[in-house]
Amino acid sequence: MNWLDTIFQGILLGGLYALFAAGLSLVFGIMRLVNLAHGDLIVCAAFLILQLVSALQINPFIAALIAAPVMFGIGWVLQYHLLNRTLGKDILPPLLVTFGLSIVIQNGLLESFSADSRRISAGTLESASLGIGVLSAGVMPLLTFASAILVVVALNQLIYRTALGRAFRATSDDVATAGLMGIRPNRIFATATGLAMVVVTIAALYLGTRATFDPTAGPARLIYAFEAVIIGGLGSLWGTLAGGVILGVAQTLGAAINPEWQILAGHVAFLLVLLVRPRGLFPRAVD
Amino acid sequence: MVANREASPPTTAAGASGSRWRVETRTTLSTAFGIVAIAAMLLLALTPFFASRGVVQDLFFILTMLVLAQNWNLLAGYAGLISVGQQLFVGCGAYALFSFVILLGLDPLLAVLLSGVFAALVSVPTAFFAFRLHGPYFAIGTWVIAEVGRLLFAQWKALGGGTGTSLPRDATRDMIGIGFLKETLGLKSAAAVDALTFWVALILLAATMGTMYRLLRSRNGLGLAAVRDNEVAARALGVDAMRMKATVYVVTAFLTGITGALTYLQKARISPEAAFSLTDWTAYIIFIVVIGGIGTIEGPIVGVIVFFLMQNALSSYGSWYLLLMGALAIVTMLFAPRGLWGLASDRTGIELFPVRRILKRGPNHQGTKGGPHG
């Protein structure tokens, strides 16, 4: 039963990675932008929630509700005024600007909050657990996984059922033609990044309540998110969820064999998928 | 970004007019600068004889950073391979050096060279994986592989595992040439090691710049620029894009590995965190190249000087310094994508290392209208 439990915990961990990855996947799908500062933005959101929790003495879930629109605004402004300027045929400017941004955010957080590890307290929820048959799971990991599914469903509904989603898809297919049809691509891009930041806030809530984080935790989160996206295949949010789950299972299995191999096992799984299926397991987009 | 746009002269004009048109690849200024550069290199080589150890160590740092920067510049600025994982080769080179010296007892200088070979060998399977990803995904892919390298070397208990290890003191003191330096110049061991590593770094820089300059002026350099500017068109004209990119990737891995080994020979202390550091070996390097001017040979030279001055001026402000570097790189990328050197070069037209082929009219001047038959 030990292995079954390990795999189950890995699946639940995959929910967290899928949350990290969903925002990255969304932004890439719509504007072909890979935001190297994605992980640092997650950590930034975690600090925002932490500040709200300690300043207002509120529940972290309510703090995340307040943080989400703030992060949406930050994402919108960031995309509209900075990242939109870098979009174009050349892939160098967006990569280098977001890389610079990543360093700026990391060191800004380091100056503001010191290098100490932090944790957002979720009260009794932290230690609560449920028994499911022979397996038992913490309430927080279950909530994380449920949130990941919810986020994927909601984003898919938005993309395929609403006017905004239609604008997203049109801009993604052909910016110039979408522009001719009365869509303002710059605003669409800004909205998409804002939306991605809302997902980032949800990811940050679970990052902060489940484990400790510090200002330099961002790059590792970016790498996990990236691996989940590539394993799952570009352009499919369900694929991203599956990618997160595979990564999570690989990590917990690695850790079960030797605690030092947790991260390594995840990377190896990623490289194996790259070897066998370079376009990921469930590819949709043609990039 | 498009330094080599005027690569091929219009054949009709060149063919029809014969000697009146010529392709110019160097200017009087660049030739003069070439001489000045060689003189400066020679002068620099004399530094250990009159300067203090601190100065020699600072110069060593600048030289190695410049070698790393030029290599990244060649990768990203010319071959279009934006890697965020060059710390892999610094780390592999450094760890190879330590294992050659500590476990096999090789002479450190020989080990430095072999470490470069090791890094180049590592780059082959790395390229196999990384080249399956394109553009931005290549960037993060190289980063993941560098992380794998860091985690693997942290498992190597013989070299200290996660905490790292130190080079034995006598290993560097018994290095080839140290005894000679001590006898002829009367240097102390530590100063002799500094001087020797400094000279190797200088030779490495000369070799890197020389290789790069020759490559970019050659037929292969044209192919490289063509691939970067439009891969499909270049391939249609018969440029083997994949081979060009792979060659550049392996060559830069070799040079980066040597630099890593040399740096850690001088530091004499290694840990996986430091040797595979994203900040030290990739972030700084990217900022140097971007601020100086990506896609130019002169840019990284300007960048490394700016970097060194800023580091000295702001060293007491801790992470504000990195924050400022990042912000400066963002501003440069947005408003002056060809960096400080690009700004200067656009205003003055000066090119110290011209790699473009410029079509010039010969001595027989005609009117200003049109060409010879125009």
Residues B169-183 pLDDT 10s: 777 777 777 777 777
Contact B333 A271 (CB under 8 A): no
What is the Cβ-side half-sphere exposure of residue B359, based on CA atoms within 13 angstroms?
Answer: 17
DSSP assignment letter at A118: B
For residue A226, give the chain B residue with the closest CA: B140
Average predicted confidence (pLDDT) for chain A: 90
A96:B333 CB<8 A: yes
ipTM of the complex: 0.88
CA–CA min distance B72, chain A (Å): 13
- Under a CB-based contact definition with an 8 Å cutoff, are residues B327 and A104 in contact? yes
Tell me, rounded to whole angstroms, the distance of Cα B230 from its chain centroid.
Answer: 24
Q: The tokens of B186 are what?
A: 């009367």
Per-residue pLDDT at B362: 59
pLDDT in tens, chain B (374 residues): 444 444 444 444 444 445 677 766 777 777 888 888 888 888 888 888 888 888 999 999 999 999 999 999 999 988 889 999 999 999 999 999 999 999 998 888 999 999 999 999 999 999 998 998 887 889 889 999 999 999 999 988 888 888 888 988 777 777 777 777 777 777 777 888 888 999 999 999 999 999 898 888 888 888 888 888 888 888 888 888 888 899 999 999 999 999 999 999 999 899 999 999 998 999 999 999 999 999 888 999 999 999 999 988 887 887 888 899 899 999 999 998 889 998 888 888 777 777 777 666 655 544 444 444 43
pLDDT at B300: 95
Q: Which domains does chain B have, with CATH numbers?
A: 23-360 (1.10.3470)
At which residue do the structure tokens 């150890």 appear? B53
Using a CB-CB distance cutoff of 8 angstroms, which residues of chain B are in contact with residue A36? 84, 139-140
Verify whether the Cβ–Cβ distance B283 to A99 is below 8 Å.
yes
To which H or E segment does residue B316 belong? none
Architecture of domain A3-276: Orthogonal Bundle (1.10)
User: Chain B interface, mutation test: which of A83, A104, A221, most B Cβ atoms within 10 Å?
Assistant: A104
> For the whole model, what pTM was predicted?
0.87
**End-to-end Cα distance, chain A:** 41
Is any Cβ of chain A less than 8 angstroms from the Cβ of B210? no
C-alpha distance from A275 to closest chain B C-alpha (Å): 7
Q: How far is B87 from chain A (nearest CA, A)?
A: 15
Find chain B residues with C-beta within 8 A of A94's C-beta. Answer: 136
Dihedrals phi, psi of B360, to nearest 5 degrees: -115, 150
Please name the residues in contact with B45: beta carbons below 8 A apart, sequence gap of 6 or more. B199, B202
Residue type, B176: I
- Give the whole-angstrom CA distance, residue A163 versus residue A182: 13
Chain A residues touching B317 at Cβ < 8 A = none
Whether residue A111 and residue B320 make contact (CB cut-off 8 A), yes or no, is yes
For residue A231, which amino acid is it? Answer: I
CB contact under 8 A, A36 and B320: no
Q: What is the mean pLDDT of chain B?
A: 85
Angle at A224 between CA A221 and CA A230, to 5 degrees: 140
- Whether chain A has a CB inside 8 Å of the CB on B310: the answer is no
pLDDT above 60 for A287: no
Domain ranges across chain A: 3-276
**Residues of chain A positioned with their CB less than 8 A from the CB of B152:** 264
